[in-house]
Amino acid sequence: MSAISARSSAPDGGQDGFAAWLVRDREDRRKGERTRIDLLVAGAELLAIAPLDRLTVAALCKAAGVAHGTFYLYFSDRNALAGALLSAFVDHVQGRMRAAARSPGDAARNTTAAYMDLFEKNPGLMKCLVVGLDAFPEARAAFQRLNHEWVLTVVRATQRRAGDAARPEDDLMRRAYALGGMVDQYLTALFITEDPWVGALSQDRDALLETLTDLWKRGMAS
């Protein structure tokens, strides 16, 4: 088993984990493409234990098992890697959310559960997206893309359900943005800043899931 294959067995390297998603077709790629994937996986692993502004090219190369100069064959600097990594993570999040929405049962509950799971298993990457850093505009742009595309998905689903009774689209968009921000703030306090009071209120995960799902349903109701 290669080092990268072994990484897919890590906590978030299960069948639906981001590391497994990154390496899903690695062995079918050319050597250069495999090295690029290895650097992205190394970035994801490092961001799980250190903030984005401490990410260094030296640390990335050591984690990926490549020479320092090799890094610059694929990325101009650490910001370029961060942008590529976060863009890939956004694609992974969207894929998980869409799959959850198509699963049997309550779509709002399923997608909320999937988002909570992503937040819990990828706090470093989610922190980069939700909190953002001025020095890394790529992170900010990636999160804005994720946010906007998901808001559009929620609004279109609401319009299909409500038909002619649906609220005006601008109103639905504002509601979806506001609700998404509320959920992000709560999950940031729970999984990133580890607010003790929020943590104490969130011991019962099923109850938390029901609360967040109820907020979405009531907020988007016509």
Provide the pLDDT confidence category of residue 25 given band limits of 50, 70 and 90. Answer: confident
pLDDT digits (tens, 9 = 90+) for 163-185: 999 999 999 999 999 999 999 99
pLDDT digits (tens, 9 = 90+) for 37-92: 999 999 998 988 888 778 899 999 999 999 999 999 999 998 889 888 988 898 89
3-state secondary structure of 198: helix
pLDDT for residue 212: 97
Sequence ranges of the domains in the chain = 3-75, 79-220
C-beta separation of 86 from 129 below 8 A:
yes
DSSP 75: -
C-beta separation of 7 from 46 below 8 A:
no
Model pTM? 0.83
Model confidence at 204: pLDDT above 80:
yes
How far apart are the C-alpha atoms of 74 and 82, rounded to whole Å? 12
- What architecture (CATH level 2) is domain 79-220? Orthogonal Bundle (1.10)
Answer positive or negative: Cα dihedral of 97, 103, 107, 113.
negative
Distant-in-sequence, close-in-space partners of 179: CB < 8 Å, separation ≥ 6 = 215, 216, 219, 220
The amino acid that residue 219 corresponds to is: G
